[in-house]
Structure 1
Amino acid sequence: MIQLTVNGVQHALDIDPSTPLLYALRNDLQLHGAKFGCGLGQCGACTVIVGDRAVFSCLLPVSAIGNRLVRTIEGLGTVDHPSPLQKSFIELQAAQCGYCIAGMVMRAQALLDRTPHPTEVQLREQMEPNLCRCGTHIRILAAIRQVAGLPEPAQATGASQ
């Protein structure tokens, strides 16, 4: 029996200890926010928070979680009461197809939980592992900056003076 605490709720799952966390979340707990993308830890669609770190849930066996708490997008907010980060993603229209967004939000939330006002370098380093095929990275970064109270980076004009 595997014991997991997900979004503050304790679960006892009768699953193989080598089962990836992603499958336990989706198949056993019916939490479908984390998506299967590549299965190789290269896209970030499956990103959740374990302990205080963003992890690729497709690569993490449930036996490796131990007593650490698991947070998924379902544990951040609701449709009626989104978290500040979710609200910012909505306001700035940071999603296009939406497939990557739960993973993006969870990776950003892990950073903001540890460092509420990260530097631009910290923000970009944290978000780099997650991919968006639709190309909304600019709006995703803007949504995170808004919550973190970071200024937008200076834009190069391209014109020489």
Structure 2
Amino acid sequence: MTAIDITLTVNGETMTTRAEPRMLASDFLREKLGLTGTHVGCEHGVCGACTIKLNGVTARSCLLFAGQLDGAEVTTVEGLGSPRRMHRIQEAFRKHHALQCGFCTPGFLMTVSEILETEELRTDDDIRDALSGNLCRCTGYEHIVRAVRELVNERDGVTA
């Protein structure tokens, strides 16, 4: 198959790169663009480790082809923040020890960035439900829920 030019905006930077159109978007981000924060877990869209924002909405990059990113705006976990300038979501995860091995963390961070914008999240069960598309084998989820609860309270102006 012939490589195609794929022009997209990734984490605010517009670029054009050649790739096979049927290369998985997760592989494209990792191998062609060097954005290795997008993790590849199940490769079936189940675990959520490869979650990115595609035109402002979360998507599983392992279920997309590189060619589908042409003309798109993509945000990966690298677009949230860096170790020196962490995003508030990253700070909350660190504060609440909401990660252990860290493999699932990028997908959780991207999901949380969306649900804080789109979901009411009145109860911890609402948070668990909103995060149910992301799997973690290490944490037991309690610390993740605590981090998200803090972020929701900040968003909603609730003081503890």
TM-score interval, smaller chain: 0.7 to 0.9
Inter-CA distance 31–19: structure 2 relative to 1 (3 Å threshold): same
By how many angstroms is 1:17 displaced? 1.6
CA deviation digits over 1:41-69, x for unaligned, max 9?
A: 11111111112221111111122234331
Work out whether residues 6 and 71 of structure 2, in 8 Å CA contact, stay in contact via their aligned partners in 1: no
By how many angstroms is 1:118 displaced? 3.3
- Identity of matched residues, %: 33
Amino acid at match of 1:119: R
TM-score, with length taken from structure 1: 0.85
Work out whether residues 98 and 139 of structure 2, in 8 Å CA contact, stay in contact via their aligned partners in 1: no
Q: Which secondary structure state, in structure 2, belongs to the residue aligned with residue 112 of structure 1?
A: helix
* Separation (CA, whole Å) in 2 of partners of 1:34 and 1:27: 11
Which position in structure 2 is the counterpart of 1:132?
A: 136
TM-score, with length taken from structure 2: 0.86
* Separation (CA, whole Å) in 1 of partners of 2:9 and 2:145: 30
Work out whether residues 89 and 113 of structure 2, in 8 Å CA contact, stay in contact via their aligned partners in 1: yes
Pairing partner for 2:153 from 142, 149, 153: 149
Q: Which secondary structure state, in structure 2, belongs to the residue aligned with residue 78 of structure 1?
A: coil
Which position in structure 1 is the counterpart of 2:32?
A: 28
Work out whether residues 95 and 136 of structure 1, in 8 Å CA contact, stay in contact via their aligned partners in 2: no
Work out whether residues 6 and 69 of structure 2, in 8 Å CA contact, stay in contact via their aligned partners in 1: no
Work out whether residues 93 and 99 of structure 2, in 8 Å CA contact, stay in contact via their aligned partners in 1: yes
Q: Does 1:47 align with 2:78?
A: no
* Separation (CA, whole Å) in 1 of partners of 2:73 and 2:129: 24
Q: Which secondary structure state, in structure 2, belongs to the residue aligned with residue 124 of structure 1?
A: helix
Which position in structure 2 is the counterpart of 1:119?
A: 122
Which position in structure 1 is the counterpart of 2:18?
A: 14
Q: Does 1:79 align with 2:62?
A: no
* Separation (CA, whole Å) in 2 of partners of 1:56 and 1:2: 18
Q: Does 1:61 align with 2:61?
A: no
Q: Does 1:100 align with 2:127?
A: no
Inter-CA distance 66–114: structure 2 relative to 1 (3 Å threshold): farther
Runs of 4+ in 1 over 4 A off after TM superposition: none
Gaps of 5+ in 2: none
CA deviation digits over 1:79-123, x for unaligned, max 9?
A: 1111110000000000011110011111111112334x5333553
Range that drifts further, 58-67 or 79-88: 58-67
